[in-house]
A = this chain, B = another copy of it.
Amino acid sequence: MSVTLDEIAEKAGVSRTTVARALNGKTKQAWSSTARRVQRIQKLAEEMGYRRNTAAVATRSRRFGQIGILTRHEMGPIQHNLNKGVFEAASRHDLNVTYAEVEFEGLTDPDYAPKVLRELCVDGLLVHYGWDIPTTIMDLIRGYGIPTVWLNTRETHDCVYPDDRQGSELATQRLIELGHRRILFAFRPNRKRHPFHYSTQDREQGYVDAMTHHGLKPVVVQIDHQPEDYAERITLWRQILEQHDKSTAVVCQNERVAYPLLVAAALLGRSAPADLSVATVLDTGGKGMPVSGITVPLESVGAQAVDMLTERIRNADASIPSIAVPYQSLSRQTIAALNT
């Protein structure tokens, strides 16, 4: 069915060992006759459609050539942006990525534990459950003794996350440069979770830092309850904008805040960016509606996490200090210079 080294060896009239060496480039090829033979074997292998059996390699080498990503469905859009970096880095290290979406309940119930944890099949694990992963779950995962790197989680070691404070500061600074002085910060804390996601606090902090640094007064608008109903949500933002009608710009926590805000502004006759500049942190890369935003550097987070993980795999029990990845650029769609 599938071609093995033995089959190639037989056809080439050499031993299995020679074939293996030729295919793995472990022949020095000092003589030209050897070089030619190596070439012939490689060509033969390709013609026969040979493909290395990773399972056999793994039993022998005690390395699976696989890393796992453990995440939950909710992380989806963020995970998607992480993926690009993860796969780029993984293919650089010649690693396969085993991807598992498992909710918390699935982790705690031993019968539903994912295969990546239950069985020996990956060299290391990228865990992406966000900031609010319970300690019990972290310990549970640690208990499996697999080298692990945590994404979007903040501990002193083995974590990689975006530098949210700096990102929000950058966005605010850009608006100030454009001449804006009355700038709001709008956010909606996720009340379902215990304290806020640290990124919420950080984004607010970055805004406040930028404002106070320029001697401006920060004004933070917080929505305690964001209605699920479309019309209600728009109304709510409309009221807020009416309250703060002197403001010329808004920095939003994320695009879920920015979108209804843009509609509400339009209903008040304020069209972005001419009448109102709206900048936001783009959790999901802003694929939906074009808004001026500063994109969370998730691709870089993913790539650096894989690099960190390979490091941890190589050196099984040495923790690595966590990394805060800086934000880079701001796109221009819904912000403009203040027209005085």
Contact = CB atoms under 8 A, between A and B. Distances in A.
Interface in A222-256: 228-231, 233-234, 255-256
B290 A119 contact: no
A263 interface: yes
Copies of this protein chain in the complex? 2
A256 to B, nearest CB: 7
Given A266-B263, A267-B266, A334-B230, A97 B100 contact: yes
Interface stretch (A10-18, A53-61, A159-167, A209-217): A53-61
Nearest to A316: B1
B80 A79 contact: yes
Contact of A55 (B49, B58, B84): B58
A206 B91 CA distance: 42
Interface stretch (A169-177, A269-277, A303-311): A269-277
B290 A288 contact: no
A54 B259 contact: no
Contact of A230 (B1, B52, B96, B273): B273
Contacts of A59: 53, 55-56, 59
Interface string A117-145: 01111000000000000000000000011
Given A84-B73, A99-B98, A119 B52 contact: yes
A65 interface: yes
A218 to B, nearest CB: 26
A51 interface: yes
A195 interface: no
A26 interface: no
Given A98-B97, A115-B65, A230 B272 contact: yes
Contacts of A274: 231
Interface string A89-129: 00100111111111000000000101110111100000000
Contacts of A288: 255-256, 259, 284, 288-289
A260 interface: yes
Contacts of A234: 266, 271
A323 to B, nearest CB: 22
A198 interface: no
A228 B290 contact: yes
Nearest to A76: B80
Interface in A1-50: 1-2, 49
A94 B115 contact: yes
Given A54-B120, A98-B66, A121-B55, A73 B77 contact: no
A201 interface: no
Given A49-B145, A52-B118, A99-B99, 9 more contacts: A51-B119, A52-B120, A54-B120, A231-B274, A233-B290, A255-B288, A259-B288, A284-B288, A288-B289
14 contacts: A52-B118, A55-B59, A65-B115, A73-B84, A77-B77, A87-B101, A96-B98, A230-B290, A230-B333, A231-B272, A234-B266, A259-B288, A263-B289, A266-B266
